Structure 1
Amino acid sequence: MRENVGGLLAVLAVARAGSFTRAAKELGISQPALSHTVRELEARLGVRLLNRTTRSVSTTEAGERLLRTIAPHFDGIEAGLAALTEVRDKPAGTVRITVGDTPAEGIILPVVAKLLPDYPDLRVEISVNAGFIDIVAERFDAGVRLGDTVAQDMVAARISPDMRMAIVGSPGYFAARRAPATPHDLAAHSCINLRYTATSGWAIWEFEKAGEAVNVRVEGQLLVNSNTLARLGALEGAGLAYLPADYVQPFVRSGALVSVLEDWCDPFPGYFLYYPSRHQPSAAFRLVVDALRHRD
């Protein structure tokens, strides 16, 4: 079967062009080579497919019957290859991203929402998960992590500036308690604990000031597994929350939350989109990565 494909394509080209010369030019081969290919096919099949004269070429009855059968299949292959090329060059298809709730709300969704109207064939799936997902095993195109937690075998693209954490509580909470002056004072406060799904452990509150690093394991009555719930708990007066400063800044500005220990919250690398090395990424994936990339 496979040895006949080249011959079938040659016969199809000659029949459509009505000339060995024109068909050879379209196929990018010499006329003698084309004639030899057609003769070899006819010999294998044991039937003449083309009638040749010094002035014209036409199909025999057998050739006409054969072309009616095979031409639609070859046309379908060509259409499939053209569609594949279009997908390669045109942003289309689905891009799947796994991300925590904070960067999903503050970074990914706003950028994607602006991008989608201009690319009707593009779909972006945003899957919110607090754990460290194996993006290859779970068939995600990319994930989002803080810069210092991205695996070395991944490609990383910065999607946010450097960040700071903030310790916040409601005015009502501080009405009955003195604000902490140092991280060690948190032992006297009710703090909202955040569980990391990846390790099943509770988040450690990390501080640094003038080169002095302090890590604190806090205690409190409220335990959650999402930044959204931690922020809501702080707003409701359930305790102090340890959250990205940008995530709580609107509430600090409005007075709904009070920020403390700001001089102990140094900046650190922000969020990065990470993904395995790709030799030929799709146009859709390239578009999403470029749109999310942070620019100073």
Structure 2
Amino acid sequence: MVKRNLNDLLYFVTVAREGSFTRAASVLGVTQSALSQAVSGLEARLHIRLLTRTTRSVSPTAAGERLLSAIGHRFDEIDAELHQLTEMRDKPSGLVRITCGEHAARAILVPKLAPLLLEYPDIKVEFDVNYALRDIVADRFDAGVRFGDTIDKDMIAVPIGPKLRMAAAASPAYFQRHPLPKTPGDLIQHNCINMRMQTAGGLWTWDFERRGKQLSVRVDGQVIFNTSPSIVDAALAGMGIAHLPEDEFAPHLEQGRLVRVLDDWCPPFPGYYLYYPSRRQPSLAFSLVLNALRATPLPLAIGQGAA
């Protein structure tokens, strides 16, 4: 077997991920010139260019993308395993990065993780709150939170909350000026409050179902947001009909500040799942976070991993 210099491979992976020799050198704690020489040496030994260099950026070539895809996660696994060995010696600690939507963070993640973080002060959780469908492997997140039908098949998905229902609602003042919609199709004639999706840049499609019949409606309106609290505020201000998980509207519906419509077109559906790569070796900190979020937590002794 021909021995390879693993440092050169690690240097290449870091530069490809950071998109910059300067940032990669800072992450690795080496000089930029030493880093450049190491990557150039690797390319020379392989007789193929791995990185395209310009004055402003660095990006992998097709060969570089293939190599990054093949070995990048292996360095992550080695790092995670070494970190887990340290945790076996010490108390649970470390950073867990989760990408999620705003509603999931407020309704499930923060309430469920607050007791865990009080019990284990050396565990840290970073929430990347957005509505983009992030690539958790490429962006180096430990896990993400989505609805089950949007999760890739090669991921482990764990239910973390109850079933949800959507709700369409507007203020009483709005319905003094406009008739109540009787079917989802009537929404086309209404001023609806839209949400912009960060990933594709398109507008959120409103989905409805009744007696097995499914309808998707592309609504229109004067205002568009990319966060749910702003949508609720706009609905309260009489700017149109909004469509969000019903608990976003709950206190306003109970107190009459909002009026719900099309209730029979909004059945319950499976709620949020935490998902993570199937090839990942969970750290103890991640295992504790996962267990705290499970819809039905499992007994977990310190030193155990997550299933």
What is the 5 A alignment of 1:48-127? 85-88=85-88, 90-127=91-128
Deviation at 1:229, TM superposition (A): 1.6
SS of match in other structure, 2:135: coil
C-alpha separation in 2, matches of 1:179 and 1:156: 39
What is the 5 A alignment of 1:1-296? 85-88=85-88, 90-278=91-279, 280-295=281-296
Could you say if the C-alpha distance between residues 102 and 84 of structure 1 is closer, same or farther in structure 2, counting changes exceeding 3 Å? closer
C-alpha separation in 1, matches of 2:223 and 2:202: 15
Question: Highest Rg: 1 or 2?
Answer: 1
Deviation at 1:84, TM superposition (A): 5.9
C-alpha separation in 2, matches of 1:113 and 1:161: 19
Could you say if the C-alpha distance between residues 132 and 82 of structure 1 is closer, same or farther in structure 2, counting changes exceeding 3 Å? closer
2:191–2:222 Cα contact (<8 Å) kept: yes
SS of match in other structure, 1:201: coil
C-alpha separation in 2, matches of 1:84 and 1:221: 52
SS of match in other structure, 1:196: coil
C-alpha separation in 1, matches of 2:150 and 2:198: 14
Deviation string, structure 1 residues 230-289 (Cα, Å, up to 9, x no partner): 112111111111101122222211222111100011222211011002453111000000
| TM-score, structure 1 as length reference | 0.69
Count of aligned pairs between the two proteins: 216
Deviation string, structure 1 residues 44-93 (Cα, Å, up to 9, x no partner): xxxxxxxxxxxxxxxxxxxxxxxxxxxxxxxxxxxxx9996351474211
C-alpha separation in 1, matches of 2:83 and 2:165: 46
Q: CA RMSD in A?
A: 2.0
Deviation at 1:155, TM superposition (A): 0.5
Report the counterpart of residue 23 of structure 2 in structure 1.
Answer: none
SS of match in other structure, 1:285: helix
1:102–1:228 Cα contact (<8 Å) kept: no
Structure 2 unaligned regions, length at least 5: 1-80, 298-307
C-alpha separation in 1, matches of 2:149 and 2:83: 40
C-alpha separation in 1, matches of 2:126 and 2:88: 19
Report the counterpart of residue 57 of structure 2 in structure 1.
Answer: none
**Percent identical residues:** 49
Deviation at 1:113, TM superposition (A): 1.8
1:131–1:198 Cα contact (<8 Å) kept: yes
C-alpha separation in 2, matches of 1:132 and 1:91: 30
1:144–1:271 Cα contact (<8 Å) kept: yes
Of 149-158 and 88-97, the range deviating more from structure 2: 88-97
SS of match in other structure, 2:196: strand
